Amino acid sequence: MISKKIDQAINDQIKLEEQSSRIYMAMASWCGVNGFPGAAKFLYTHSDEERMHMLKFVHFLNDRNGHSVLQQVEQPKAEYRSIKELFDEVLKHEQLVSSRINELVDLCLQEKDHTTNNFLQWFVTEQIEEESLVQDIVDKIKLLGESMGGYFHIDMYLSGLADAEAAAEE
Ligand code: OFO
């Protein structure tokens, strides 16, 4: 049986994962209509992953006699000044998600909920990978510079990353 506090905190996390999925889908859409097909592919894949994260929380909470209740999520931003601004925001968002996962772990320790803490460890590891992947993209954008040639190479790189991730999941 899960405590009321943890039930509420997981529901908040479900909202954040759903929000993440929608933010990345909106970003993918912007990339698609602004000449970045590789970045769009990468972000659509990430949008799907966030939905998968959301579902993991939904099933876990319901399986533990809690109740996953979907909440209203805000409309994601539709416009970006550049691909650099967009990926800087992805990185900030992933850092926010990591800090929320850490807060959830803290709460589990306070509440002595070792089962939920154990479940959360998958997300702790996942966030290390997500942050490092996005940091790498941000670094590459800086390195290649904000030029047409640089953007072209970034887009090819992101397309390759999306293909590699899809192949790894097959
Ligand atoms: Fe759900 O990991 Fe990214 O946000």
d(CA 165, CA 170): 9
Query: For residue 65, is pLDDT > 80?
Result: yes
Determine the pLDDT at residue 3: 96
d(CA 103, CA 65): 22
Query: For residue 60, is pLDDT > 80?
Result: yes
d(CA 149, CA 18): 34
**Between 34 and 145, whose confidence is greater?**
34
Q: Is the CB of 15 under 6 A from ligand 1?
A: no
- Which ligand 1 atom sits closest to the C-alpha of 97? 4
Range of the domain at 87: 4-169
Pocket perturbation via mutation, ligand 1, pick of 10, 15, 17 by most ligand atoms within 8 A of CB: 17
Among the residues of 83-147, which ranges form H helices?
A: 83-111, 114-144
| Mean pLDDT confidence for 2-13 | 97
Of 145, 169, 167, 165, nearest to 42 by C-alpha is 165
* Total structural domains within the chain: 1
- pLDDT classification of 39: cutoffs 50, 70, 90: very high
d(CA 134, CA 131): 5
Pocket perturbation via mutation, ligand 1, pick of 18, 50, 98 by most ligand atoms within 8 A of CB: 50
**Cα distance from N-terminal residue to C-terminal residue, the chain:** 35
Pocket perturbation via mutation, ligand 1, pick of 94, 99, 125 by most ligand atoms within 8 A of CB: 94
For residue 114, the CA-to-ligand 1 centroid distance in Å is: 22
d(CA 133, CA 128): 9
Q: Is the CB of 43 under 6 A from ligand 1?
A: no
Q: What residue has token string 């601004």? A: 85
User: Each residue of 16-31: pLDDT tens digit?
Assistant: 999 999 999 999 999 9
User: Each residue of 71-95: pLDDT tens digit?
Assistant: 999 999 999 999 999 999 999 999 9
Type of residue numbered 131: E
d(CA 111, CA 38): 44
